[in-house]
Structure 1
Amino acid sequence: MPQLFSADWMNELKDLWNADPDVKDKLAAINFNSVITCGIKGEDKPLGVFVVENGECVRAGDYAGETPDWDMRAARKDWMKWTQEPLGMVGLGTAYTFGKLKFLSGDYGAMIKNPAMAGPFIKSFALMAKIDTQ
């Protein structure tokens, strides 16, 4: 059972992402390219990195100084809750509004208003819930 945001965990997410047409193919359709990082709120650096080129995750693992386009942070207890009960659209809005999910990089408002990005983003939380996490 991989540790949250460890290289093993990030690579499991990569495999799930690339196998899911509702994520990979929909993002490929809009030529989505991004460096996505995840970590714990209050820490200096993110823990994991996820590199997407034309919708496909081409690299995932431990954060190694990459400049993120999206840097998502939350308390460990919230991340762990979301790996058990993934966020939907309403839960995501609530988590963002009340500061449980922070974006240190990236424009949450623009992303959530764009259905081509919002749908796959919400789906990524469902993918996280498929990983047996510790």
Structure 2
Amino acid sequence: MANLFSADWMNQLKDAWNNDPEVSGKLAEINFNSIISCGFKNEDDPRGVFVVENGICTRAGDWAGEQPDWDMRADMKDWLKWVEKGIGMMGMGTAYATGKLKFKTGDYGAMIKDPRMAGPFVKSFNLMKQIGADELA
């Protein structure tokens, strides 16, 4: 397994995303374009970046200063819990409401109310469970 948010890990997530029609296919239907970054709440900068064009992830890897449309943050222990166990719509709402999942950029409330985005968003989190992750050293 690769380290969480490493370039290798982000590219494994990219492959899983592009191979899942419930994520990439559904987002292609709405011409979803976005730069998504993720990292840890206690750090200024995100760790990984994920570039989506018309639902397909065209580039993933280490964050290199890109301006994200969505920047998701959580503590290492929470990310690893979601990687291990997955997360559903209820769990996602609870994580957001309790502050375990933060959005430095992006409107979680608007996104989760749009079923065309909410379903693929939750499913994208469960792709992490497919690939697993090692904790950062």
TM-score (norm 1): 0.99
What pairs with 1:25-44 in structure 2 (closer than 5 Å)?
25-44=25-44
**C-alpha separation in 1, matches of 2:68 and 2:98:** 23
Contact 2:84/2:132 (8 A) holds in 1: no
1:72 paired residue number: 72
**C-alpha separation in 1, matches of 2:133 and 2:24:** 22
State the one-letter code of the partner of 1:91. Answer: G
1:130 paired residue number: 130
**C-alpha separation in 2, matches of 1:132 and 1:97:** 25
2:111 paired residue number: 111
1:13 paired residue number: 13
> How far is 1:87 from its partner?
1.1
Contact 2:83/2:129 (8 A) holds in 1: yes
**SS in structure 2 opposite 1:23?**
helix
1:94 paired residue number: 94
**SS in structure 2 opposite 1:130?**
helix
**C-alpha separation in 2, matches of 1:58 and 1:133:** 21
**C-alpha separation in 2, matches of 1:7 and 1:71:** 17
Question: CA-to-partner distance for each residue in 1:29-85, whole Å, 9 max, x for gaps?
Answer: 000000000000120100000000000000000000000000000000000000011
In the TM superposition, structure 1's runs of 4+ consecutive aligned residues that sit over 3 Å from their partners are none
**C-alpha separation in 2, matches of 1:132 and 1:92:** 18
State the one-letter code of the partner of 1:93. Answer: G
**SS in structure 1 opposite 2:35?**
strand
In angstroms, what is the RMSD of aligned CA positions? 0.5
The unaligned stretches of length 5 or more in structure 2 are none
